[in-house]
């Protein structure tokens, strides 16, 4: 398995609906079973406009209090659940805006659908939750606006399969990239959007909690550490738990980390299982490097002429195909300090 190169990273499934959503049937036991079947460590449950899962004893029983350890490195720990909400902005039965995921919101103070977006984001932030714009170009539930609204921490740039037409993931990625180039530091996340409603609609993922999956560098295997790592941007997004492995370093720093201004720009990408894929390096100046990977264990080294400040480096691994190719893995940026804003 390619992701083996990333031993020590936690596989986190974001954006899953339980039976506490009107359009899902999934139970806590289902999520644990799906996670075990795919090697996922953490499943974040975000139901539509409620946090009932976080209060449900069956779900709480598979959450994990702070204080775990990675001591059992040879055998991965049991999967556990984290909680949040997928808040939707509806008015008089019509969608005004799309959906926003509030990771870590679990105190039962759920903003009602009529609330203003700015108030919801401020309330979520005050409770320590992380607000993510979900599926921004979903055909039915899209966001409007040239860039992500102020007050969000990130964007779900990848919902379900990369090329699933209804989610327009390439547009979501470009939308995020425009914001990065303006100096915003926004987390890119992948969302599985499971509903357990196989065959009911092509909007719905059924049971794959790892499509896509987030690789998160958390200091400890508990909810607080995973949330802190998400907030810090220590995240890669992969097609599924069998995707190639990719480690990005820029002058010794990884995704989410901030380099001093005028850094040399020495990039090192370690890859496993990526033969035949294209590695692409993007910066605030656009795409600066693209190389076809020739072997299954390969390290790519190059030097990029980064701007003295306000730049970033992020990596994409794509399998050649129609258009820009199928995304295999993408990284969050390594930033060059200070940003222009
Ligand atoms: Zn949604
Ligand atoms: Zn959803």
CA 23 to chain centre: 22
Length of the chain (residues): 341
pLDDT in tens, 162-214: 998 888 999 999 999 999 999 999 999 999 999 987 665 555 667 789 999 99
CA of 104 to the centre of ligand 1 (A): 17
CA distance 184 to 319: 28
Query: What is the pTM assigned to this prediction?
Result: 0.93
216 pairs with which residues across the strands? 10, 235
Parse the chain into domains and list their residue ranges.
2-238, 244-341
Task: Please state the CATH superfamily assignment of the domain spanning residues 244-341 in this structure.
Answer: Immunoglobulins (2.60.40.10)
CA of 123 to the centre of ligand 1 (A): 20
CA of 272 to the centre of ligand 1 (A): 33
Closest ligand to the CA of 167: 1
* pLDDT per residue as tens, the chain (341 positions): 345 445 568 999 999 999 999 889 999 999 999 999 999 999 999 999 899 999 999 999 999 765 555 444 334 568 999 999 998 865 545 555 689 999 999 875 555 555 678 888 888 899 999 999 999 998 877 787 788 989 999 999 999 999 988 889 999 999 999 999 999 999 999 999 999 876 655 556 677 899 999 999 988 888 999 999 999 999 999 999 999 999 999 999 999 999 999 899 999 999 999 999 999 999 999 999 999 999 999 999 999 999 999 999 999 999 998 888 999 999 999 999 875 54
CA of 214 to the centre of ligand 1 (A): 18
Q: Which of 3, 6, 9, 35 is nearest to 218 (CA)?
A: 9
CA of 187 to the centre of ligand 2 (A): 18
Helices (H) and strands (E) in the chain, counts: 6, 18
Tell me the HSE value of 66 on the side-chain side, using a 13 A CA sphere.
5
CA of 100 to the centre of ligand 1 (A): 7
Q: Is the CB of residue 189 less than 8 Å from the CB of residue 155?
A: yes
CA of 36 to the centre of ligand 1 (A): 25
CA of 98 to the centre of ligand 1 (A): 7
DSSP conformation class of 262:
S
Res 236: pLDDT: 97
CA of 74 to the centre of ligand 1 (A): 36
Q: Which CATH architecture has domain 2-238?
A: Alpha-Beta Barrel (3.20)
CA of 108 to the centre of ligand 2 (A): 19
Q: Is the CB of residue 275 less than 8 Å from the CB of residue 295?
A: yes
């Amino acid at each position: 398995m390619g992701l083996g190169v990333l031993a020590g990273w936690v596989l986190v499934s974001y954006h899953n609906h339980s039976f506490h959503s009107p359009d899902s049937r999934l139970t806590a036991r289902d999520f644990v079973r799906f996670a075990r079947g795919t090697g996922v460590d953490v499943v974040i449950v975000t139901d539509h406009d409620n946090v009932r899962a976080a209060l449900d004893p069956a779900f709480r029983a598979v959450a994990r209090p702070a204080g775990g350890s990675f001591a059992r490195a040879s055998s991965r720990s049991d999967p556990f659940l984290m909680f949040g909400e997928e808040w939707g902005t509806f008015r008089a039965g019509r969608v005004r805006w799309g959906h926003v995921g509030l990771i870590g919101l679990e105190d039962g103070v759920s903003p009602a659908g009529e609330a203003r977006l700015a108030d919801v984001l401020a309330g979520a932030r005050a409770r320590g939750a992380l607000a993510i714009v979900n599926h921004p170009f979903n055909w039915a539930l899209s966001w409007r606006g040239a860039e992500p609204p102020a007050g969000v921490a990130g964007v779900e740039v990848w919902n379900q399969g990369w090329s699933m037409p209804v989610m327009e993931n390439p547009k979501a990625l470009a939308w995020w990239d425009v914001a990065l180039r303006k100096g915003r530091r926004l987390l890119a996340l992948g969302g599985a959007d499971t509903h357990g409603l196989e065959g009911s609609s092509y909007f719905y993922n059924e049971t794959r909690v790892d499509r896509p999956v987030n690789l998160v560098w958390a200091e400890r295997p508990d909810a607080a550490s995973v949330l802190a790592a998400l907030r810090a941007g220590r995240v890669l997004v992969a097609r599924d738990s069998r995707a190639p492995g990719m480690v990005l370093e820029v002058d010794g720093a990884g995704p989410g980390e901030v380099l001093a201004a005028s850094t040399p720009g020495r990039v090192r990408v370690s890859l496993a299982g990526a033969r035949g894929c294209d590695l692409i390096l993007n910066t605030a100046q656009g795409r600066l490097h693209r190389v076809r990977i020739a072997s299954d264990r390969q390290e790519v080294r190059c030097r990029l002429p980064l701007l003295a400040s306000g730049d970033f480096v992020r990596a994409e691994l794509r399998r050649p195909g129609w258009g820009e190719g199928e995304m295999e893995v993408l990284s969050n940026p390594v930033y060059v300090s200070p940003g222009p804003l």
